[in-house]
Amino acid sequence: MAACRAELTVAPDIIAGPFFHIATVDGECAGVAEIGSEIGVWYLEKLFVDPRFMGLGLGRRLFDWAAKTAAAHGASSLEIAADPDAVPFYEHHGARRIGEEPSGSIPGRMLPLLELTL
């Protein structure tokens, strides 16, 4: 996890912006999602659910928020560089595998690349 710290750290201005969403349970941060775009391509930058809150549907709600928010800003699809263990979640919710891309934090590691058509 230490190797990923810089890539996973979120600046306060991003948290306060329209492309970051926090899911709470009883006032506690239970999960987060972030989307972003670059040259007309929209990406799911982050989607994490605290393991203590898994199984409550928060991942689905965060993923739905990401898709709806990207679509509202003109996206026709959302690209996802996923942890390999998360691929079944994204495929279950309609994403399809389109390739792979290098990890931004672990040299030599390739991540599955998926796409959700909006």
Alpha-carbon span 24 to 10, nearest angstrom: 17
CATH code, 111: 3.40.630.30
What is the pLDDT at residue 3?
A: 44
Is residue 37 classed as helix, strand or coil in its secondary structure?
strand
Domain count, the chain: 1
Q: Is the pTM of this model over 0.95?
A: no
Give me the residues of the chain with pLDDT under 70, please: 1-10
What is the pLDDT at residue 4?
A: 47
What is the pLDDT at residue 106?
A: 85
What is the pLDDT at residue 9?
A: 65
Element (H, E) at 15: helix 12-15
Element (H, E) at 69: helix 58-72
Domain span at residue 43? Answer: 2-117
- Give the pairing of strands 41-49 and 77-81: parallel
